Structure 1
Amino acid sequence: MTEYQLKDREKAILRFVIHQFILTANPVGSRNVSKKYDLGLSPASIRNVMADLEEMGLLDHPHTSAGRVPTDKGYRVYVDSLMDPPVIDISAKKIVDENLTLQNETEELLKITSAILSDLTNQLALVTYPRFEQAELEKIQLVKLTSKRILVVVSVKSGLIKTITLEVDAEVKEEQLSSIQQILNERLCGLKFSEIRATFQERVKDISSEKYRPIIRVFLDSVDKIFTDTKSVDKTFIAGTKKMLTHPEFFDHEKFQSVIELVENKDIIIHVLDKNKEEAKSDLAISIGQENKDEKLSDYSMISKEYKIGDLTGTLGIMGPKRMDYSKIIAAVVYIAEQLTEELTKQR
């Protein structure tokens, strides 16, 4: 069922039913719509239209109630064409602007962003660490920690840094590290992580000197670990679990438990965020109920948007019950993503 096939009165009643359900969390009856909204239609006429909307799969009729509730399809039509335009209010803007400028460290900034987003939306908020996968290498630094341990510091052009400690089979000298560091920078700088992983062996195969071989060998053994993006999952900031549990949808113990399990196993949420982003037509992704690519998330809606730091991108968004104020939440997600991008760009 597509939006343009709906008549004006069907659009109006679907919109009002969803508005009322968002406000009350209770099934909406025709008499309620008739009293609350001036449609110029009798309760009987409204009831007939609601029955038509139910036939189209846009409303559902819980067996314990005379009222209707929106389906996933109904919410989709509402989000795509019937809700108010997303506009963030001045007080919310002020909260975002004042708090984001207080942080200088990237991780602290992402952490406070998740808290602000949760506070403004009353939902579970998530902010993923920027993805290194498509980042261009700016430089590698090798630091001697002990006679057989070295610290590899990988800097990308966005200004972010990744570090990893490697164990070498032979004793390492400062002059060896200095020479290898220079060689690696000459051959790898400007390449993406994926390119480095694919071509590293070819790029260092001519380094045959005995004194360099132990260090090159450990790099060959560890290239996937050094140049793989693991931080974005490990450093995903989640805020607002308690807020989400205050919604009526989660008063049931089983649903309450499912939220806790999702938060503890956040890679499920991140995987679905990534899938939604891939399928979205823009960098704003909205998935409702069964549109989410995991059965565990079929009772939730997710709204997410990319933010940028140089050539890297991360994702911020919310997860909550399908019964949410979509317009208000979309406005908050979009504005905070834009301000986060701006703040991270300033700090580079």
Structure 2
Amino acid sequence: MNPVQEELSARERGILEAVIDNFITTARPVGSRTLSRSGGLGLSPASIRNTMSDLEEKGYLYQPFQSAGRVPTDKAYRLHVDAVTAQRRSAPRSAVQTLERIKEDLAVEKVLQRAAEALSVITSELGFGIEPLVDEGLLEGVELIRLSSDRIMLVLTIGRGVVKTIFVELDRRFDNSRLDKLASRLRERLTGLTLSEIRHTARNRLKDAVEDERDPLNIFIQSADTLFDLKESNRELVFGETSKLATQPEFNDQGNLRSLISLTDRKLHLLEVMKKRANKEGLSISIGGENELSDLANFTLVTDTYRMGKMSGIIGVIGPTRMSYRRVISVVEYTSRLLSDMLDK
């Protein structure tokens, strides 16, 4: 048994869960009389009040202002979430029906956008998706597109449809036929390899295909370490609609709203937070103060990984710590499985 659970009696756990459920539903501090009237506990208001005081001393509840009821703390939500994740869960049928519609799109970026939007609608939180880190994905296609006399765009298709573009500066002009031949040689020598393998072996794989010192293939041999190094910051991060989330009572506090807007504007910060989750398969939940970013001190992140060949991406929601964890967790897990079924083929 979790040592945190051991320090609570059965009565304390029952009352704490009742407070959490009531607060999630109403967004109002919960009083002992409210719990007594709701039935189910079989306790008097005085008995409930005494137990709530004990829970406050233990750090599970707090009183936002004098004479108010109690509100769950991050510690209480952690206990609640651990109990929820220990149970078998299935997404509500209505959520499943909404999510199944994302199958209408096949391109990765469109699938992720639709999944994030669906999560926002279903959970009333902020849905988001992060495309896979492509370093271990297999290169499937190479195209070169001329942009100007001394600049081309390298278009890489990786894994099962992730498309990345890289701008390449040329030191001299090459006609289109030579660019087509260059693209053909790159496809012949590099497709089927991961970007990591390309960075480490491009010189050996390409050097015998060089025709002369003016051959543009030399640019790719000399710059392979940088051209094929698609860092974390290049990952696509998409958000669903914020309209439902913004109507929640927590956003009457303009500070919370500013924090959320700031976070969505600072893509690199969120990607950095998610970097550790990308290396850890499965469900991950961080509540309030457990988050590394101060902007997330009043929020919960619920994420899960999805697979796309050797690559993995992230799907999830951000919302106030007061959220319907049972529903949100089941929906995020279902979305993760759905994306994996669609993309990991």
Which TM-score applies when normalising by structure 1? Answer: 0.87
For the pair 1:293 / 2:307, whether they are aligned, the reply is: no
Cα deviation, 1:66-101, whole Å, max 9, x if unaligned, reads 32111111100011016875332212211211x212
CA RMSD, 1 decimal: 2.8
Offset at residue 209 of structure 1 (A): 5.0
- Residue correspondence of structure 1 range 124-135 to structure 2 within 5 A: 124-135=126-137
Q: Is the 8 A contact 2:298 2:321 kept in 1?
A: yes
**Closer, same or farther in 2 for the Cα pair 1:112/1:227, shift >3 Å?**
same
Paired position in structure 2 for 1:76: 78
**Match of residue 21, structure 1, among 14, 20, 23:** 23
CA distance in 1, matches of 2:105, 2:269: 29
* Structure 1 stretch displaced more, 34-43 or 12-21: 34-43
Give the stretch that moved more between structures: 133-142 or 255-264: 133-142
- Give 1:297's aligned amino acid: L
1:305 maps to a residue whose letter is D
Q: Which residue of 1 aligns with 2:196?
A: 194
- Quote the Cα distance in structure 2 between the aligned partners of 1:49 and 1:255: 31
What is the alpha-carbon distance in structure 2 between the residues aligned to residue 191 and residue 255 of structure 1?
45
Aligned residue runs from structure 1 range 270-309, under 5 A: 270-278=271-279, 282-309=281-308
- Cα shift at 1:232: 5.2
Return the offset for 1:207.
Answer: 6.8
Of 119-128 and 334-343, deviating more is 334-343
Distance 2:191 2:257 in 1: 49
Aligned to 1:92, what secondary structure does the other structure show? helix
Tell whether the 8 Å contact from 2:300 to 2:318 is kept in structure 1 after alignment.
Answer: yes
2:50 pairs with one of 26, 43, 48: 48
The share of aligned pairs that are identical, in percent, is 36
1:93-119 deviations in Å (ceiling 9; x for gaps):
11211x212223332222111111100
Q: CA deviation at 1:336?
A: 1.5
1:130 deviates by 2.3
> What's the counterpart of residue 322 of structure 1?
321
Question: Quick one: which of 115, 123, 133 aligns to 2:117?
Answer: 115
AA aligned to 1:310 is: G
- Which of 50, 62, 65 does residue 63 from structure 1 map onto? 65
State which drifts further: 288-297 or 254-263: 254-263
Equivalenced residue count is 342
Query: What is residue 264 of structure 1 aligned with on the other side?
Result: 265
Residue range with higher mean Cα deviation, 168-177 or 138-147: 138-147
Alpha-carbon contact 1:187-1:203 (below 8 Å) kept: yes
Deviation of 1:204 (Å):
5.0
**Cα distance in 1, alignment partners of residues 276 and 232 from structure 2:** 17
Q: Determine the C-alpha separation between the residues in 2 that align with 1:108 and 1:189.
A: 24
Structure 1, gaps ≥5 residues long: none
Partner SS for 1:133: helix
* Segment of structure 1 superposing worse, 297-306 or 135-144: 135-144
2:90 aligned partner: 87
Alignment of 1:216-231 (within 5 A): 216-217=218-219, 220-221=222-223, 223-229=225-231
* More deviation, 204-213/117-126: 204-213
Counterpart-to-counterpart distance in 1, 2:142 and 2:214: 16
One-letter amino acid matched to 1:164: I
Q: For residues 225 and 219 of structure 2, what CA distance do their matches in structure 1 show?
A: 10
Q: Distance in 2 between matches of 1:201 and 1:222?
A: 8
TM-score (norm 2): 0.87
Residues 195-239 of structure 1: CA distance to partner in whole angstroms, max 9, x if unpaired?
A: 433454565567775345544135523642443146754x32111
Which residue number in structure 2 is paired with residue 4 of structure 1?
6
Q: Cα offset for 1:28? A: 1.1
Q: Which shifted more, 263-272 or 170-179?
A: 170-179
Q: Secondary structure at the match of 2:156?
A: strand
SS at match of 2:52: helix
Residue 152 and residue 322 in structure 1: after superposition, are their counterparts in 2 closer, same or farther (change >3 A)? same
SS at match of 2:89: coil
Q: Quote the offset at 1:166 in angstroms.
A: 1.8
Q: Structure 1's 38 and 160: CA in aligned 2 closer, same or farther, altered over 3 A?
A: closer
Whole-angstrom CA distance in 2 between matches of 1:17 and 1:75:
11
The change in CA–CA distance for 1:158 and 1:238 in structure 2 (over 3 A counts) is same
**Structure 2: stretches of 5+ with no match in the other structure:** none
- Where in structure 2 are the equivalents of 1:139-150 lying within 5 Å? 139-142=141-144, 148-150=150-152
Which residue of 2 is the match for residue 252 of structure 1?
A: 253
